[in-house]
Amino acid sequence: MFQRIKNTINQTIAEEQARHRASLEEAANQGNTPTARRSRSTSGAGTHSHSPARRPRPAKKPSNDITSERATVDTDPAVFEAAFVIDEEDASAATSRVPTPLPTKMEKPATEKTAEDGLPDGQVTEDKAAAAEQISRSTTPVVADLPPEARARLRKLDKLEKAYPELLRSYRVAHGRIKAIEQFEKALKENTPLTSATDSDTLVEYLNQLNLKNEMVMGELKRVSAENDTEKKKAQESSKKAADAEKEVAVLKEQIAALQTAKPESDKPVNGEKKPETTKAAGEGEDFFSYDNELPKLQAELEQKSEEVQKLETQVKTLKEELSAAKEHEASLLENLEESSRELGETRDALAVKTAVESQLQARMAEITSLTERLEKSQARLKEMEAQSEKDKTRAEEVLWEKTAALTSSTARNNELESQLRDIKEAKSAQEKKNQELASEIESLIKAKADDVSKIRELSRKVDSATHPPVPVPSTPTTAQQPSLASPAPGAGGKKVKNKKKKKGGAAAAAAAAAAAAELAPSEASDIQRPPSPPVSEAPVNEELQAELVRLQEEIVQKDQQIEKLSTQRKTEEELREQIEDLEENLMSIGQDHVEAKKKIKELETEKKELKERISELEKEVQTSVEAAKVTAKLKGEYETLKDEFEDLRMKSSTLQSDLAAAQQLAQTRYKDLTDLRDVLQKAQPELKSLRQESATLKTTREELAAKNTELRNLEKREKDLRVELARAQRLAADREGEIKTLHEKISQETNARLKVEEEKRVAGRDFRRAEAEKIQISAREEAATRELQRVQEESSKLRPRIAQLEEEVTRLRKEELTLREQVEFKEGQYASAESLISSMRNQTAELGIQLKESQTQAESLDEELAETRKMLEERTRDSDRMRKLLADGDERTDHKLREMRAKMEAAIEERDRLEDESASVMRRKTREAEELRQKIRDLEKEIKELIGEKDDLERAEREWRQRKQELESYEERAESEVNELHTTVTNLRSALDGSELQVREHERKNSELRRSLDEYRLRCDKLTKEFKALQAKLSSPAMQSSRSSVDSTRSGNNGASASPDSMYLKTILLQFLEQKDNKLRAQLVPVLGKLLKFDKTDEEKWVNAVQHLNTR
């Protein structure tokens, strides 16, 4: 990308340099051509030896373009720096080639000198005065400034020089960044599975996976270390408990042995005591012996012993009950262990889901940040565009104002010129009348002059005839013939002059007449001076004739002066005519400028309209950006709420994990206690058989009846609770059915849930029927127990302490029941929290759907904007094509005008050379015409410069159009990229929606599993109550082995029941693994499968490799 930017920068710089050099060379050529032509005209005017059509020297060839010298673009900044250096020689040459107007002081040509030598004194002085006027007119100081094109180019160069260090610095920065990015990409390729730095999402996912692995490893380490510590503590406690139990058992054995030995000893002394007393009575007749004193002692001892036996029996019973309770507790603990392991797996799955949710949240955060950055960029770009539009607006207004001012000035100038034209036309008509009058006067004067000349000739003849005798002399006819021959010459000359006057516009008529008069005067003077001195007799006649001749000569001189004055007036009139024609041409050019200015004003008005439309579009874009900012603010708020919910979930998960750890510790301690108690029981069972047989007879039916009554009440309460739960389950089923109607995709799952609920109802009905059958059995037992009541009442007084003990056991069992109920309530709370989680996830899915709709509407609006921008682009391309056509037409017009001007100039130069060759008298007029033509050429050059300036303006406008077109194209590309990004975000949102739906399904599955576990807890509670009843019923029966076998069978049944949900859980996870399309989520499910199927590290690696192979495929 940076390489492309660098190439474009180099190309634009090379183009600018080429244009600059071409413009300098064009300016040099334009400056050289007029100077060459002027020098050529002066040389042609000075000498006749050189040819009139002399060619100017060819201009130097332009230097080659930088692009031809440097075809390949270098990436080094030094080359970029060298490309910006502008040759000083070219610049100096360009500045030196600027056309400077030649001084109009020129040397007088040799032809003029010769002509002045041949002309009379008066005419020479007039010519000198005209030359002095011309020199004073031409020596006005001309400022040798640079042309506007060169100034514009120099300004551009200054701008480039200002922008050059910034461009170079940015280029160096970009170059360094590119190198750093290449090194970073190399490191990425070597150390990560990534290939380029552009895949930011994959890099984030890779880092998240690494963090997840580290967290999981640390969690496992902590868990294992905590388990090791707890197991060590439990082992120490169990060893202590086992030692205490062994001591207690030894103490009990000693007590039993002491009791057994005490019974026969107590029997022996009763018989043996009588004998010594009789012997004593026989031996000692005097001592008194009484059985009344000994009997109470023995009875007291017997009572003590019986009490001790009863105590021991009660201890045995308590131990039995504790054993049975311990067995039950062991079974419940095993079940709790299985459930806790299952819950652990579920929590791990939930943790994996949470990690996936976290990654999705992070991805969404990144998307939100990117969207906010894009929004900020678009807002900045909008501000820039607004500023640019305002600048364009102000510039257009300034241009409009300037154009209107120029229009007003041009209209005022037009009016002034029109008024001047009218005045000039009136003066022209007056001058024409004067010219006619002057021409008539000149003709009359010429006629009078001719008459005078004829009179002078006649007088000269008379003088000749008077002076000379009538004898013919050969000399006199020659002298008479000479003036006669000389007299037609001026007539012929006059005719030629008249013809030339007709051809050239009557400009040289007065000059020809003056020349003829000047030629006549000396010839006549020579004729007058030529005759010899008359004789004395004819002196008065000669004097009169000479006086007439002098008078006539003075009249001729006066008439010549009048003719010269009239000819000068004629010349001034011709100059006025030429000025009038120039003014008319200027008026025509001003009218054309006026029309072009009107066209430009119309174009500027259209541009103003387009700018207004552009401003309205920009305002619309600003509104859309504001709306987008509002949407982003909403998204931020939603993100914050999601973050809060996520933190709450994290807290809940941490509490659940701590609870799970505590439950595991409790389960392990209880399991060890159970194993210890089981060992103690196995040791105490052979000794307790006899005690069981003795205690079986001591049981009372009354206590059983009370227990049965309480059980019946409990069962009735349980039945009510079950009915309430059934109603709640029905309500839940109805809610589920409503949700099924709204969510068509989850019909099958909800129907399965409903079927499960119906099965639960059937199971509950079956349990209710069993309870009724048990109630009937209990009533039958109650009838049998009433029969035995009379027999038992006698023993009731003896067994009252036993009743108290049993009541204490009942309270203990109630406490255990309360703890079980608390556990059930805790599970129900977990279920409720899971339901709230599901509802929150549904809300999230709804919000995601709304976001999807909003993004779709945004995408549609962006598509519409794209279509509008494309239309604008097409319009801009059409406008640029029109501008190009107009430019081409303008170029053609300027070329045509230049050709016409060149043709005119060449024709004028040829005419001037031809007229210079014709005569020296016409040279002055031609030089004047040449000067006028030079003035016209200067005007034409000015017009050419103006046209070139207009051409540059048009080229500048074309460049601006191109820049605008490029900006629109870049804007279109940005819009397309934004649309693509929106499409990607839409796809990401869809994938996130799919993931959330999967999570919803998983939560529903967890709900169903929680329901199942709740039902299992209830069934276990029922089973525990039944087992408690059965144990109480079977305590009276001697066959205890059968109870043990039943307990073992129930335990095995429980194990089988617990195995079935594990298989169901495994099936669901395998189904998810196979149904999952995203291989990343598959890779996340691999450790869960590994924990369920007890994979090794090698097995897990194989699974991960297999998933990666699926990715590559």
- Please identify, among 574, 596, 618, the residue that sits at the C-terminal boundary of a domain: 596
Does residue 531 surpass a pLDDT of 80? Answer: no
pLDDT band (50, 70, 90) for residue 923? low
Please indicate, yes or no, if residue 95 is contained in any of the structural domains.
yes
Please indicate, yes or no, if residue 305 is contained in any of the structural domains.
no
Contacts 24+ apart (CB under 8 A), 746-749: 746/1001, 746/1004, 749/1001, 749/1004, 749/1005
pLDDT computed for residue 394 by the predictor:
78
Pairwise CA distance, residues 279 & 284, whole Å: 8
Do 54 and 40 touch, CB atoms closer than 8 A?
yes
Higher-scoring residue by pLDDT: 88, 626? 626
Do 170 and 162 touch, CB atoms closer than 8 A?
no
Please indicate, yes or no, if residue 828 is contained in any of the structural domains.
no
pLDDT computed for residue 247 by the predictor:
80
pLDDT computed for residue 1092 by the predictor:
76
What is the mean pLDDT of the segment spanning 1049-1061? 44
Find tokens 């490309």 and name the residue. 83
Q: And the tokens for 54?
A: 């002399």
Helix (H) / strand (E) containing 202? helix 200-272
Q: How long, in residues, is the chain?
A: 1113
pLDDT computed for residue 700 by the predictor:
67
Burial, 808: exposed, middle or buried (Cβ in 10 Å; 0-12, 13-18, 19+)? Answer: exposed
> Which of 31-40, 398-407, 594-603, 709-718 has the lowest average pLDDT?
31-40
pLDDT band (50, 70, 90) for residue 799? low
CA distances from 465 to 412, 525, 918 (A): 76, 18, 43
pLDDT computed for residue 746 by the predictor:
67
What is the mean pLDDT of the segment spanning 33-55? 40
Helix (H) / strand (E) containing 531? none
pLDDT computed for residue 468 by the predictor:
52
pLDDT band (50, 70, 90) for residue 796? low
What is the mean pLDDT of the segment spanning 52-80? 40
Pairwise CA distance, residues 461 & 481, whole Å: 11
pLDDT computed for residue 2 by the predictor:
57
Please indicate, yes or no, if residue 213 is contained in any of the structural domains.
no
Number of domains in the chain: 3
Buried b or exposed e, range 63-92, using 16+ CB within 10 angstroms: eeebbeeeeebeeebeebeebbeeeeebbe
pLDDT band (50, 70, 90) for residue 921? low
Residue-wise pLDDT tens digits, 347-382: 677 667 667 767 776 777 777 777 777 777 777 777
pLDDT computed for residue 515 by the predictor:
46
How many other C-beta atoms lie within 10 A of the C-beta of residue 1082? 22
Please indicate, yes or no, if residue 124 is contained in any of the structural domains.
no
Residue-wise pLDDT tens digits, 747-760: 666 667 778 877 87
Minimal CA–CA distance to 327: which of 1110, 967, 1059, 1040? 1040
How many other C-beta atoms lie within 10 A of the C-beta of residue 1026? 15
Pairwise CA distance, residues 86 & 93, whole Å: 12
pLDDT band (50, 70, 90) for residue 204? confident
Do 828 and 1010 touch, CB atoms closer than 8 A?
no
Helix (H) / strand (E) containing 451? helix 291-467
Does residue 119 surpass a pLDDT of 70? Answer: no
Question: What does residue 631 show for φ and ψ, rounded to 5 degrees?
Answer: -60, -45
Q: And the tokens for 1015?
A: 């039902």
CA distances from 932 to 138, 392, 583, 671 (A): 12, 45, 13, 128
Helix (H) / strand (E) containing 194? none
pLDDT computed for residue 100 by the predictor:
42
Q: And the tokens for 258?
A: 């002491």
- Cα torsion through 820, 825, 829, 832, rounded to 10: 120
> Which of 493-502, 589-598, 1022-1031, 1037-1046 has the lowest average pLDDT?
493-502
Please indicate, yes or no, if residue 392 is contained in any of the structural domains.
no
Which residues are within 8 A (CB) of 340 and not within 5 positions of it... i.e. 6 or more apart? 660, 663, 664, 667
Pairwise CA distance, residues 60 & 57, whole Å: 9
pLDDT computed for residue 288 by the predictor:
43
pLDDT band (50, 70, 90) for residue 1086? confident
Does residue 540 surpass a pLDDT of 70? Answer: no
Does residue 170 surpass a pLDDT of 80? Answer: yes
CA distances from 901 to 69, 72, 1053 (A): 38, 44, 119
Please indicate, yes or no, if residue 731 is contained in any of the structural domains.
no
- Looking at every residue in the chain, the average pLDDT score rounds to 69
Minimal CA–CA distance to 151: which of 221, 94, 222? 94
Higher-scoring residue by pLDDT: 453, 259? 453
- Please identify, among 549, 573, 596, the residue that sits at the C-terminal boundary of a domain: 596
pLDDT computed for residue 582 by the predictor:
80
What is the mean pLDDT of the segment spanning 654-664? 75
Burial, 721: exposed, middle or buried (Cβ in 10 Å; 0-12, 13-18, 19+)? Answer: exposed
Q: Give the HSE-up count for residue 864: Cα atoms under 13 Å, Cβ half-sphere.
A: 10
What is the mean pLDDT of the segment spanning 114-128? 44
Higher-scoring residue by pLDDT: 399, 1051? 399
Does residue 1047 surpass a pLDDT of 60? Answer: no
Please indicate, yes or no, if residue 553 is contained in any of the structural domains.
yes
pLDDT band (50, 70, 90) for residue 31? low
Higher-scoring residue by pLDDT: 72, 773? 773
Pairwise CA distance, residues 629 & 623, whole Å: 10
> Which of 267-276, 799-808, 1006-1015 has the lowest average pLDDT?
267-276
Q: Is 414 left (phi over 0), alpha (psi -120 to 50) or beta?
A: alpha
Full domain range(s) for residue 1102: 1051-1113
Per-residue DSSP letters for 335-353? HHHHHHHHHHHHHHHHHHH
pLDDT band (50, 70, 90) for residue 401? confident
pLDDT computed for residue 472 by the predictor:
41
Question: What does residue 301 show for φ and ψ, rounded to 5 degrees?
Answer: -65, -45
How many other C-beta atoms lie within 10 A of the C-beta of residue 920? 17
Pairwise CA distance, residues 855 & 848, whole Å: 10
> Is the model's pTM score more than 0.85?
no
Do 573 and 435 touch, CB atoms closer than 8 A?
yes
What is the mean pLDDT of the segment spanning 502-517? 43
What is the mean pLDDT of the segment spanning 818-831? 79
Of all residues in the chain, the percent with pLDDT exceeding 70 is 68
Pairwise CA distance, residues 763 & 756, whole Å: 10
pLDDT computed for residue 321 by the predictor:
76
Higher-scoring residue by pLDDT: 1003, 1063? 1003
What is the mean pLDDT of the segment spanning 896-901? 82
pLDDT computed for residue 430 by the predictor:
79
Q: Three-class SS of residue 369?
A: helix
Do 767 and 1022 touch, CB atoms closer than 8 A?
yes
Residue-wise pLDDT tens digits, 218-254: 888 888 888 888 888 887 887 787 778 778 777 777 7
What is the mean pLDDT of the segment spanning 844-867? 80
